Chain A
């Protein structure tokens, strides 16, 4: 921050002033973060305005136009094995893909953070129980959870989200717990106790804000991981059910045609890759933004 923004201070002490409105300005100085944000915004806009962007229905087959290559007339990215427009399917596929990635991560975080903070701060019996349950979830193959949920409730988008959310739980619990354990030893937590605040204030004012950086990094890894996980579930027929497109099930059905018609695998793959990359870059940028010492 510039010295020019702070007139009237004593000349010997040159201190930077925190700016309240400076968020965007600071964010803008990090090109990778801006690219990440742009990528995420584009994907979100595409998902929201899919009906206006797509020229074809993503589900209606056109058997006269099966597996046409890219740049064929009327189908800029070609068509798939059932003659559906590849671009339209990619556009509509972003909806299910984003939904799974974001909701599964939010679900995991919402459950994991309070448990992790409480376990790390209070330790003792609560910590033991929370960590053993976490270990059980960690030891349990997430595919088995997904298969189990699908067997009981039938395959659906909600169940995919729940299964992936559960799969993301242990990592987030452990990160929140480790951070809480490190922070509770810090003097400022002791100092806060000395001022006579309630435990709730300690947990959510003194612990939580100081662990945002690692949690954001975890989220920026978790969203792409959930997207890839949903692709895996689609591949096994447990995820988003055809004919509804998701990038995962597009990739899964494309594998049969990989040798002769690779593009129908390449496009959803590139879409997953770019979205994942955007979330990671955005996560890194946000982490820097939330770190007070980077201001």
Chain B
């Protein structure tokens, strides 16, 4: 698969009231054409920051290093004018919160029309027809009428579908989904995931999916990258992540997931939590960031930081003492 997006050695430093935060540390990530890559991790692990860095949406005072190669061009060094041409046309993004991601002052049709006008030069009836077509693509009934609706007249699921329709307006090569279902109830989640999966197959676009929901990952992703405290700690094909996770953090996340067949009170099958919280790094760390929470940590883990290295074909892990294959398999 040819790489559509290649993030290389991305470093992001953000500034808050108390000083610098190392939000993303040395992350590399590749997304092939038509590939769905999930970026997984707890809140504050840097997954959203990585996605925002791709579209240069971070605050102006953020320090960003590395390269973000998209179709042969480094997005981080692109002049703003050329970046604007890529935003919305080649790369589109859907945000987490459908209640606030639409402009309350304009109708849905007007807002989808804005994107079509900007990148495709469509106006009037042409734009309206295309907008209606997009709404039916995301399975919104009576699209002509919905075009005249204001955002507050639609439900959360409808709004998220409208957001997806807007993102798809120009047939983007890459769609970034930032926790697209987190704010929705479970039935609506399933509908949205269904639509996304279907559209991805039909339109063949690549997707960068940011989520902490492993259920969503299993549903959509081809490949999974697990992030912890700004680092990518594991990267593998989706079945391998679920069947044989090597990083203790990934294994811990999976053990914390309920699955069918488990019984409450069954001591052996009790859901386990990972003790502690994700640390906020304010200075470079010469140790494994996960060591304080890890049951497998040794002296080496607090003295050196593990490099991400391949452990099998198409599977890389950053750990000195990865979970043994058999045990990891049993954890599921």
Q: Is B293 an interface residue (CB 8 A)?
A: no
Instruction: Give the CA-CA distance A84 to B145 in the complex, in Å.
Output: 63
Which residues of chain A come closer than 8 Å to B97, judged between CB atoms? 187
Q: How far is the CB of A285 from chain B (nearest CB, A)?
A: 18
Q: Is B153 an interface residue (CB 8 A)?
A: yes
Asked if B118 contacts A195 (CB within 8 A), the reply is yes
Some 28 contacts from A to B, beta carbons below 8 A apart, are: A6-B145, A15-B149, A15-B153, A17-B148, A18-B150, A18-B153, A186-B100, A187-B97, A191-B102, A194-B87, A195-B88, A195-B92, A195-B118, A196-B84, A196-B85, A196-B86, A196-B88, A196-B89, A196-B118, A197-B84, A197-B118, A201-B114, A206-B103, A292-B104, A292-B105, A292-B150, A292-B152, A293-B150
Query: CB < 8 Å: which of B95, B105, B141, B148 contacts A187?
Result: B95
Which residues of chain A come closer than 8 Å to B105, judged between CB atoms? 209-210, 212, 292
Q: Is A198 an interface residue (CB 8 A)?
A: yes
Number of interface residues of B (CB under 8 A): 39
The main secondary structure of chain B at its interface with chain A is loop
Which residues of chain B come closer than 8 Å to A210, judged between CB atoms? 103-105
Residues of B within 8 A of A (CB): 55, 57, 60, 83-89, 92-93, 95-97, 100-107, 114-115, 118-119, 141-142, 145, 148-154, 163, 166
Nearest A residue to B142 via CB reads A9
1/0 per position for A122-136, CB-CB distance to B under 8 A? 001000000000000
Asked if A194 contacts B149 (CB within 8 A), the reply is no
Which residues of chain A come closer than 8 Å to B57, judged between CB atoms? 190, 193-194
Asked if A293 contacts B145 (CB within 8 A), the reply is no
Which residues of chain A come closer than 8 Å to B149, judged between CB atoms? 15, 17-18
Instruction: Give the CA-CA distance A192 to B103 in the complex, in Å.
Output: 9
Asked if A190 contacts B95 (CB within 8 A), the reply is yes
Which residues of chain B come closer than 8 Å to A197, judged between CB atoms? 84, 88, 114, 118
- Using known A-B contacts A190-B95, A195-B115, determine if residue A16 contacts B100 with beta carbons closer than 8 Å: no
Q: Which of A18, A190, A209, A293 has the most CB of B within 10 A?
A: A190
Which residues of chain B come closer than 8 Å to A194, judged between CB atoms? 55, 57, 87-88, 92-93
Q: How far is the CB of B51 from chain A (nearest CB, A)?
A: 11
Interface size class of A (residues with CB under 8 A): 20 to 34
Q: Which of B57, B103, B106, B145 has the most CB of A within 10 A?
A: B103
Within 8 A of B (CB), among A1-25: 6, 8-10, 13, 15-18
Which residues of chain A come closer than 8 Å to B163, judged between CB atoms? 191
Q: Which of B101, B102, B150 has the most CB of A within 10 A?
A: B101
Within 8 A of B (CB), among A203-227: 205-206, 209-210, 212
Asked if A16 contacts B153 (CB within 8 A), the reply is yes
Which residues of chain A come closer than 8 Å to B96, judged between CB atoms? 187
Which residues of chain A come closer than 8 Å to B153, judged between CB atoms? 15-16, 18
Nearest B residue to A295 via CB reads B150
